[in-house]
Amino acid sequence: MRDDELAAAQAYVRLLEATRAALADPDDGPLYVPLLASPIAEADGALRRAGLCGNESRFFDLVRSLRPSMPGGH
């Protein structure tokens, strides 16, 4: 895995974890959703730099190599 691909997969995992935390309590979700803007921007930029936009299959293979327990997402 190249460094830029690793950065993209890591950014996605951080975004996923931040999203889960923000939405853990449905009553507080609307309060925390704006905090996801930064992790979303990080993940978008990392995907572009790695050339993974539009190549979801390759991207999710990389993510699963970091987090083998993640479900398939093709």
Q: Is the pTM of this model over 0.85?
A: no
Please give the C-alpha separations between residue 5 and each of 2, 20, 26, 37, 47, in angstroms, as whole numbers.
5, 23, 33, 21, 8
56-65 pLDDT tens trace: 888 888 888 8
Q: Where are the alpha helices (DSSP H) in 1-74?
A: 3-22, 29-32, 37-50, 56-66
9-48 pLDDT tens trace: 999 999 998 888 888 888 887 888 888 999 999 999 999 9
